[in-house]
Chain A
Amino acid sequence: MSRPSAGPLLEVDNVSVRFGALLALSGVSLSIQPKEILAIIGPNGAGKTTLLNVISGFYHPYEGRILFEGRDRTRLSPPDVAELGVARTFQNVALFKGMTVLDNLMTGRLLKMGGHFLLDAVWWGPAKRQELANRAFVERLIDFLEIQAIRKTLAGKLPYGLQKRVELGRALAAEPKLLLLDEPMAGMNVEEKEDMSRFILDVNGEFGTTIALIEHDMGVVMDISDRVAVLDYGRKIADGPPEQVRKDSAVLDAYLGASHG
C-alpha cells in the first residue's frame, strides 16, 4: 500500500459545511494516503457527496481546511482543483451527452494539452501535433476500458452502465493524482459491478492513482477498498480497514438504526 513517510495526498481538516440551517458536514477530518483506495460510506444524507463536492471545489467549507499535497487548497474553484490533478465523476453521470465517447475523453484531456487556448487557432502546426499525441493516449484509455466498439457513439445514447464507464474514462484522461468517484456502481447489475470493480483496481494498480469512492454496495466496498471511512449525519463515525469497520458498533447502529448488544 502506501509509503507512510510521504504524508497524505489530501487532508480534510475539521471541515464543516452549512446549507442555511442544515449542517451537512460537521468537523469532518479525513486523510487520503497516496495510492490507496478509500471508500466513503454512510446512510443516505450522511454528507458523502457533500464531502466530495468540498474536495473538488464545488462547495467551500465555512470552517476547516483542505490540504492537497500539504498545501492549503480550501477555497479553490473546481477548474483550479482539476488543474491540481483531482478528477471526479458524478452520482448522476454528467457526461457531455451530445458528444461522442471519443470527444468526451478528449475533452477530459483538455488540461493535459499544453500551450494556450487562443493560440491554437493561430499556431496550427503544434496544435495538430499535440492533438495527435493526446489522441494516442485517449485511444490507449479506450482499449483499457474496453469501449472500442462505442468510441464514435454519442454518449447520451449509451446505456447507463456504459455511461458510467465512459465517465470514468473522461476522469482518467486527465491522468489525475486523485480520482473521486461518486457511486461508480449505482444502478448497475452484478456483471457491470464486477467490470467496474476490476477497472478501479486496475487503475489503482497500473497507474498508481489514488482513489476515493462513495459506494453503497457493501460487498464491493469490502472487496476493493484499502480503507473505509463512515459518515453519519455529517460526522465521521469510523475510519479504518474494511474488516475492522464492518464490526464497529457505531457503524452497525448507523446502518441498522438500533443499538446492538
Chain B
Amino acid sequence: MAEILHGIFIGPLRDMAASPAFLIEVLLGGLFTGLMYSLVALGFVLIFKASGVFNFAQGVMVLFAALTLVGLMERGMPVAVALILTMAVMVALAFVIERVVLRPLVNQEAIILFMATIGLNFFLEGFGELLWGANVKKLDVGIPDRSFVVAGVQINQLEMSAAATAAVLVAVLAVFFQRTRIGRALRAVADDHEAALSIGIPLKTIWLIVWSVAGLVAIVAGIMWGAKSGVQFSLSLVALKALPVLILGGFTSVPGAIVGGLIVGVGEKLGEVYWGPLVGGAIENWFAYVVALVFLLFRPQGLFGERIIERV
C-alpha cells in the first residue's frame, strides 16, 4: 500500500526534481501539443459563439486545409502562393457553407444544425481525399525539424516557430474581436439573434466572417500538426481532443479555449511521462477525457464559460 502511494505522490515529484531540464522539455512538449488543441478549440468557440452551432466538422476543416496546402505544394507551387490559395479556398468554403448549409436551416433547432455539421464532416473528408488522395503526405513549410540546446534543454525549432505563429494569430484575433466593430457585432449576435437583427446587424455577414476565421485558424492548426506528424486522416481526430478542451475552458470563451488547450496538453504529457509507467502508459489517450468528466460533474460551465449553457 505504502509503496503504491509513494509511487503516485512522491516518486514522480522526485523524478521531476532530479532532472529539471527534462521536466522543462516535457512541459514545452505539452505546451506545444496544448497549443494545437487550443487552435482547434478556438475554431469551435468562434462558430459556437456567433451562431450557436456546434461545428462537428472543425477537425475535418483542419485536415482539409492541410490537404489543400500540401496538394497545391505538390503541384509545384511555392509555399507562399499555396498558402494564399489555401486561405482563399477556406474563405470560399465558408461562403458555400453559409449558403448551402446554414441559410436553409436558419431558425432550426441547434441539434439539427449539429447534425448538418456531421454531414459536412463526412462530405469534407471524402471531398478532400477525392481531390488530393488518401495517402499520408509530408508537409514541408521550410522550417527544419531540428533541435538546439539552451541551458541543457532541447528546443525544437519547428515547434517553437509554430508556437510563435499560433501566439501571434491568437493576439491578432483578440484585437480583431475586441477592438473592431465586428467584435461588438459578433458579441451582440452571440447574445441575442433577434435583437442583433433589429439593430441592423446582418447575420449572414457575421456567419461568413466567423466561418472564414475558423477556416483560417484551421489552416494554422493544419500546418502545425501536419508539419509535425504528416498530413493524414488522423489529423481530423484532433477535434476529439478539442472537446474536453472546450468542456474545460467553456464553450463560449476564447481565452478558455486557449488556457484549456494548454492545460490539457501539459497535463497529459506530464501524466504520460511521470505517472504513465504506473499504469503501463497510454495516459495521454484518456487524460483529457477524465478531466472533462470531472469538470462535467463539478463545473459544467467550464473555467470561463457562461453559467448556463443553453441556446434557443
A and B together in one complex: yes
Stretch at the interface among A105-113, A232-240, A247-255: A105-113
Q: Any chain B CB within 8 A of the CB of A199?
A: no
Of the candidates B180, B187, B200, the one whose C-beta lies within 8 Å of that of A96 is B187
Of the candidates A121, A170, A171, the one whose C-beta lies within 8 Å of that of B176 is A121
- Report the interface size for chain A: residues with CB under 8 A from the other chain: 31
A87 CB contacts on chain B under 8 angstroms: 198-199
Q: Any chain A CB within 8 A of the CB of B296?
A: no
B201 CB contacts on chain A under 8 angstroms: 79, 110
Write the nearest CB–CB distance from A135 to chain B, whole angstroms.
Answer: 12
User: From residue 185 to 232 of chain B, which have CB atoms closer than 8 A to chain A?
Assistant: 185, 187-188, 190-192, 194-203, 205
B195 touches A95 (CB 8 A): yes
Q: Any chain B CB within 8 A of the CB of A63?
A: no
B205 touches A110 (CB 8 A): no
Write the nearest CB–CB distance from B198 to chain A, whole angstroms.
Answer: 5
A87–B291 Cα gap in the complex (Å)? 47
Assess A94 versus B184: contact at CB under 8 Å? Given A78-B198, A82-B198: no
B185 CB contacts on chain A under 8 angstroms: 107, 110, 117
User: From residue 149 to 193 of chain B, which have CB atoms closer than 8 A to chain A?
Assistant: 175-176, 179-182, 184-185, 187-188, 190-192
Chain B facing A: main interface SS:
helix
14 further interface pairs, Cβ-Cβ under 8 Å (given A77-B202, A79-B197, A110-B201): A58-B194, A78-B197, A79-B200, A88-B198, A90-B195, A96-B187, A96-B196, A107-B187, A110-B181, A110-B200, A120-B181, A121-B176, A127-B181, A171-B199
Assess A99 versus B197: contact at CB under 8 Å? Given A117-B182, A120-B182, A121-B180: no
B200 CB contacts on chain A under 8 angstroms: 78-79, 82-83, 110-111, 174
Q: Any chain A CB within 8 A of the CB of B145?
A: no
A174–B199 Cα gap in the complex (Å)? 8
B197 CB contacts on chain A under 8 angstroms: 58, 77-79, 82
B187 touches A118 (CB 8 A): no
Could you name 29 residue pairs across A and B whose Cβ atoms are closer than 8 Å?
A: A58-B194, A58-B197, A77-B197, A79-B197, A82-B199, A83-B200, A90-B194, A90-B198, A95-B192, A96-B187, A96-B191, A96-B195, A99-B191, A103-B184, A106-B184, A107-B184, A111-B200, A113-B181, A117-B180, A117-B181, A117-B185, A117-B205, A120-B180, A120-B182, A121-B176, A127-B180, A170-B199, A174-B199, A174-B200
Of the candidates B180, B187, B192, B199, the one whose C-beta lies within 8 Å of that of A108 is B199
A94–B205 Cα gap in the complex (Å)? 21
CB-nearest residue of chain A relative to B200? Answer: A82
Assess A99 versus B187: contact at CB under 8 Å? Given A110-B181, A113-B181, A121-B176: yes
A215–B87 Cα gap in the complex (Å)? 52
**Residues of chain A whose beta carbon lies under 8 Å from any beta carbon of chain B:** 56, 58, 77-79, 82-83, 87-88, 90, 94-99, 103, 106-108, 110-111, 113, 117-118, 120-121, 127, 170-171, 174
A170–B199 Cα gap in the complex (Å)? 8
A79–B306 Cα gap in the complex (Å)? 27
A90–B199 Cα gap in the complex (Å)? 12
B180 touches A94 (CB 8 A): no
A110–B186 Cα gap in the complex (Å)? 12
A105–B128 Cα gap in the complex (Å)? 45
A77–B199 Cα gap in the complex (Å)? 12
CB-nearest residue of chain B relative to A131? Answer: B181
A99–B182 Cα gap in the complex (Å)? 15
